[in-house]
Amino acid sequence: MVPPENLSITMTAETTASAITPGSAALHAGALIETRDLRKTYGAGGAEITVLSGVTVSVEPGKLIAVVGPSGAGKSTFLHLLAALDTPTSGTVYFEGKAIDSFQENELANYRNRSLGFVWQRHHLLADFTAAENVAMPLLMRGAGYDEALETSERWLREVGLGERVRQRAGELSGGEQQRVAIARALVQKPALLLADEPTGDLDERNAMAVFELMQRLHREHQLTSILATHNTILAGRADRVLQLEHGKLRPVEA
């Protein structure tokens, strides 16, 4: 039996949830991101649906975690809560030990824009802008100079194997190439945490594998902590840990 402190993911019962209040110490020292009794209900009255019904999870830096589960299980909902793109009905997300619902406005902006990178199933690139301009966008939006931003962006595009495509319009790239651009855009600000929601969901098998392997390599080389939602169990099996989301609960899947 592995002692709990040696597990990269520690799932706990919900018994002590009330002892944790926003802003108080998180569960596991050294965790990059954790959730405590996270619940999410959509709708109201008779139309209520509970998607997450108490998710407590702790992720150490450097881990690559796959979240699997059937369509509609709540994987996107979970990632959106981690990214502070949505708010939980109750429960708390902690980043570096601090409750994100206690963040000041500038801390929240920094968290969303600097600490984490997000890759979506659809790449959401600006079709009429070049690959390099798309990747540079987060830097330009925070006030970086155009030349400097483009230089950084081109370096990232070379890292994802698109050194030859930097000046091509995003709309002219293949699906796999577009997703590589989206990955470069997610990483251009050197986030600590990479969240990806079905990043290979729109790709054929060969491209899905290539994009997954790219993410694995970047994860390793840039010391990222990565959480990927996927319904592809073959790819998920290559993560450090696999968590199954079903009936509102997240459970470890044993190898």
Residues that bind ligand ADP (CB under 6 A): 42-43, 49, 51, 69, 71-77
Least distance (Å) between residue 72 CB and ligand ADP: 4
Residue entry with tokens 């987060």: 138
What does the angle CA 127 – CA 129 – CA 137 come to, to the nearest 5 degrees?
Answer: 110
Tally of CB atoms within 10 A around 30: 11
Closer CB to ligand ADP, 80 or 123, in the complex: 80
Least distance (Å) between residue 228 CB and ligand ADP: 12
Closer CB to ligand ADP, 14 or 86, in the complex: 86
Closer CB to ligand ADP, 177 or 197, in the complex: 197
Spatial strand order of the sheet with 49-59 comes to: 49-59, 33-42, 90-95, 98-99
Least distance (Å) between residue 33 CB and ligand ADP: 18
Contact at 8 Å (CB) between 199 and 179?
Answer: yes
10 Å CB burial of residue 105 (0-12, 13-18, 19+) is: exposed
Least distance (Å) between residue 39 CB and ligand ADP: 13
Least distance (Å) between residue 125 CB and ligand ADP: 21
Closer CB to ligand ADP, 156 or 212, in the complex: 212
Closer CB to ligand ADP, 35 or 152, in the complex: 35
Residues 6 or more apart from 111 whose CB is under 8 A from it? 84, 95, 100, 103
